[in-house]
Structure 1
Amino acid sequence: MKVNPSQLIQLLTSFIPRRLPVLITGRPGIGKSDIVDQAARATGHELLISHPVVEDPTDSKGLPFPNGNIARFLPFGDLERALRATSPLLWFLDDLGQASPAVQAAKMQLLLARRIGEHVLPDCVTFVAATNRRNDNAGVTGILDPVISRFATVVELEPTIDDWTAWAVQNHISPELIAFLRFRPDLLSVQKTSRDIENAPSPRTWGFVARTMGVVPKELELISYAGSVGEAAATELMSFLAIYRELPSPDAIILSPDNAAIPETPAALYAISTALAAHSTEGNFDRVLTYNDRLIDAGRREFAALLARDAVRRKPELQNTYAFIRAQGGPLGQIIRGQ
């Protein structure tokens, strides 16, 4: 069953406190690990990350050690840490599908019976696992059926542009990148079809683009971005940036919101609405909303909604301005409320 990031967080925050293990599948780089980290923090759990792909079966059982004329298995590493946990602990098995069958089998008793040999896990420990799919060129041959059946639910994460942009706005990602991916949402995550040594677009690789924007010299932008998300996506981004950089500056629009031109093309409208949202402050929000009213009058209601939502996501205090409160009673308020 496919879920988006918002649904997955809700699911995890419901299952984790009840000690119900969840298996998350999906293509590489779409945020599985980040969402597990968010869920751990939301539920007050410390996060323990294991990578079964580099483990030996003894990691899950312990090493035999002589004790008189018998031997006992002594836990070490992640197992030892989990066994001595006294506060809520989320044990995250990352890339489980890449692990050998022997290592996967060693996890079965831990996942269902919550014990391994003579060692019993404390009640405060909960499991979540993640894996790529067989067709993701990630070295996944599959997960043993008895292992799969030990998870309370198995879901496939599918990124969405709405969830990504909400995260990007809150984390102050470059407005031009947000605007581009809104314009070309199908490039947020692309299934890689070749085995060539190159990157493909994904939330993770777009994150690398965001970190290098404004840092890499302009003459090297295409080279840098192509290395992050592939040449085709990078070329489209560069074409969009050329449009973005030709538009009037947000400061110029804010200075004259009654007369500033309203773009005609969707690409330019995405660019200008995202840029204005990023430049909004309590001191200029009345002018931004004046321009926003003109977007509504011009029949660009969806872009007016994007601008207003982005602005208050970046700076929630804008909701307390007189301009925004007044706008709630007019067309903008109806758009935001979906009326």
Structure 2
Amino acid sequence: MNAPASPVATRPTLNPAQLIELLTAYVPARLPVLITGRPGIGKSDIVAQVARATGHDLLISHPVVEDPTDSKGLPFPSADGTSAIHLPFGDLERAMNSKGPLIWLQDDLGQATPAVQAAKMQLLLTGRVGTQELPRHVTFMGATNRRSDNAGVTGILDPVISRFATVVELEPTVSDWTAWAVHNDVPAELIAFLRFRPDLLSVGKKSRDIENSPSPRTWGFLAKTMRVVPKGLELLSYSGTVGVEAATELMSFLGIYRQLPSPDSILLNPDTAPIPENTSALYAVTAALAAYSNEGNFDRVLTYTDRIISGGGREFGALLVRDALRRTAALANTDAFVRAQGGEIGKIIQGN
């Protein structure tokens, strides 16, 4: 009889919201965390966000361009010439002399040479370099791509890994990315597209060619180019940002988006304006109306939203209202929204 196969061990996978919650608990306790994941998914951005939320300064080092002396200090003869001491410099000196709570992020750690990684072992475990000790307010974090990501990662030494309190893998989600996008004035059509095609948020590269692939980082760049790229060059520009396949899908979606009624025309007659039946068009309309909402028109936006919900589009109504409130928090104080709290809109906002 064959023995049952052992389960394959994997790293715990966290979405951005879960990682923020974890780091917010670990940082004040000075517990170091190693974050892994594909390139461009926001690992260092999340650490920066947690640093701001917990009142820490942030120091980012890049071990891939370091020498072992960066983590040990430069050897220098003692005053009597009988021994040597190590003088900190660069990021090590800044951490040693920091005066308040500090997160020290070792970014792209897996791309560093074994010698550089080994030089960090004492620093990560004890916060010491020879006879010198880091202030107790310094907390280490690490971030790295995976060996399968074609990012020059050969691995991390086991003794280095064991110096982190936990190792987790970040997996981006469309809901987290769109929440960020709404707050950062990303064009509504791009938010709508990625909600329609969440599988394109982050796609691993299939070749070693010099080309980009979809990731939260590259979509962020594309959002910036959408406002300036000439119409005739859109496909070429977007292909260089997220790859040909994703760019072609985006252009097809934009063709639908640009043929839809404008928010102005919908809000002129919110009681009778047509509601799209096509899923991609519904994503487009709700994203556009959320971006267009203001205190003067929110009553009409909610009238149209009620019709979307009544027609079976509960999910789309929820996305519209939540995005509008994220963009303009003052909308929650309008008479129209206060009245809507007792109906279906209130229920979907509360998650019922």
Match of 1:257 among 270, 274, 279: 270
What's the CA shift string for 1:269-322, capped at 9, x where partnerless? 000000000000000000001111111121111111111111001001101111
Q: 1:337 offset after TM fit, Å?
A: 2.0
Provide the aligned C-alpha RMSD in A: 0.7
1:83 equivalent in alignment to 2:96: yes
Please state whether the residue corresponding to 1:8 is helix, strand or coil: helix
Cα deviation code 1:23-44 (max 9, x no counterpart): 0000000000100100111111
Alpha-carbon distance in structure 1 between the residues aligned to 2:25 and 2:297: 41
Q: CA deviation at 1:206?
A: 0.3
Shift of 1:8: 0.7
The CA deviation at 1:338 is 2.5
Q: What displacement does 1:214 show?
A: 2.3
2:43 is matched with 32
Partner of 2:179: 166
Deviation (angstroms), 1:336: 2.1
Matched, 1:21 2:2: no
How many Å separate the matches in 2 of 1:82 and 1:297?
58
Does structure 1 residue 330 correspond to structure 2 residue 343? yes
Partner in structure 2 of residue 134 of structure 1: 147
What's the CA shift string for 1:200-234, capped at 9, x where partnerless? Answer: 00000001110011210000000000000000000
Question: Residue 215 of structure 2 is aligned with which of 183, 202, 220?
Answer: 202
Q: Give the TM-score taking structure 2 as reference length.
A: 0.95
Paired residue total: 339
- Which of 17, 23, 35 is the aligned partner of 1:6? 17
For 2:280, the equivalent position in structure 1 comes to 267
1:75-94: CA deviation from partner (whole Å, max 9, x where unpaired): 11111111111211111100
- Written as runs of structure 1 = structure 2, the 5 A alignment for 1:167-186 is 167-186=180-199
Question: In the TM superposition, what is the alpha-carbon distance from 1:328 to its structure 2 partner?
Answer: 1.0
Structure 1 unaligned residues grouped into runs of 5+? none
Match of 1:320? 333
In the alignment, which residue of structure 1 is the partner of 2:134? 121
The letter of the residue matching 1:168 is A
- Looking at structure 2, the residues matched to 88 and 332 of structure 1 have their Cα atoms a distance apart, in angstroms, of 43
1:255 maps to a residue whose letter is L
Deviation of 1:323 after TM superposition, in Å, equals 0.6
1:100-143 CA deviation, whole Å, 9 max, x = no partner?
A: 00100111101111101111111011100100000000000000
Correspondence for 1:156? 169
Q: What secondary structure does 1:142 align onto?
A: coil
1:146 deviates by 0.5
In structure 2, distance between residues paired with 1:28 and 1:164: 15
Counterpart residue number, 1:243 = 256
Residue equivalent to 1:304: 317
Aligned to 1:146: 159
Unaligned runs of 5+ in 2: 1-11
SS of aligned partner of 1:240 = helix
The residue type paired with residue 37 of structure 1 is A
TM-score between the two structures when normalised by the length of structure 1? 0.99
Question: How far does residue 172 in structure 1 lie from its aligned partner after superposition?
Answer: 1.0
Q: Give the Cα separation in 2 of the matches to 1:218 and 1:156.
A: 38
Residue 4 of structure 2: aligned partner: none
2:64 corresponds, among 29, 53, 58, to 53
Identity of aligned residues (%): 73
**Alignment of 1:278 onto 2:291:** yes
